Amino acid sequence: MPDSVLAAIIAGTATLSASFLQLRSALLRDNSATRGASAASRRKSRRLQLIILLVIVGAAAAAGFALSQWLTESERLAQGVLQRELQARVAEISRTANQLELTRGSERAEIENGVLRRLGNDGVVVMATVAPCRPALVVSAPGSASPPGAATDAAAPAARTCTEADATPMTLCATIPGNASITEVALFSRIADADTPWSAGRFLPGQESGQARFAEKYSEGTPEAGARQVCQGFAHWSADHARVVRVIVRYSLPG
């Protein structure tokens, strides 16, 4: 039971109790004063006392009800004010959280963009090692003429050097942002385990050097998921040593 209703009940009970006590006192006085009066006068006096009692009870009930309504209305007003303040604070917290999320998102996008720009200036590096070419063996036919001083009792296999047609081409691909503009594709190659600097082993597109050649043009893939690939072909046909290949793709971003 709410405190306001309980207080109204207590106040109404006290009022009724006081009214009953006053009415009993009045009845006792009237009885002592009207002992010698007629029966009609006594009935009239009792009827008047009953009316007064009913008026007092009705007034006490109305006063108690009005008091409970007033207290309840005050509580409702206080609860309404508290609820509105709570809703205002929740809305303010939501706005602050949204602004913070937007700020974080913009800062994160700015940081990522800065990293991609620095990476574009430095270049995306792709490296691979190409094994030596394995030439096919040539077997001399039985009964064929042999050079002077050569063994003639059996046919001996002879090694054949590799040509560019024997080389297995390979492709090196670098991934860059889909909206980037390519500024440079630098090509490098050197013998495996060599200590020469990369600057000494720079190639031009289509240039042949040391039985190795890069393709004349690079190719670009279709942008997908915000990125695309830049690929460069390479061929190596030396049977003596392996080669290390290095491709650097530099790019710039709009804005």
Write down the pTM of the prediction.
0.55
Task: State the burial class of residue 232 (Cβ atoms within 10 Å of its Cβ: 0-12, 13-18, 19+).
Answer: buried
Question: What was the pLDDT predicted at 214?
Answer: 95
Which architecture characterizes domain 123-138+151-252 according to CATH? Sandwich (2.60)
**Closest alpha carbon to 121 in 67, 180, 49, 76:** 180
pLDDT in tens, the chain (255 residues): 566 566 666 766 777 677 777 766 666 666 665 555 566 666 776 777 677 777 777 777 777 677 777 777 777 888 888 888 888 888 888 888 888 777 777 777 788 888 889 999 999 999 999 999 887 655 555 554 445 554 444 444 555 688 888 888 899 999 999 999 999 999 999 999 888 899 999 999 999 988 999 999 999 988 888 899 999 999 999 988 899 999 999 999 987
- Give the Cα separation of 15 and 51 in Å (integer): 17
**pLDDT score recorded for residue 130:** 92
CB 124 within 8 A of CB 231: no
Whole-angstrom distance, CA of residue 225 vs CA of residue 178: 8
Domain boundaries, the chain: 3-96, 123-138+151-252
Beta carbons within 10 angstroms of residue 176's beta carbon: 24
CB-based contact 250:242 (threshold 8 Å): no
| DSSP assigned state of 87 | H
Model pLDDT, residue 104 = 75
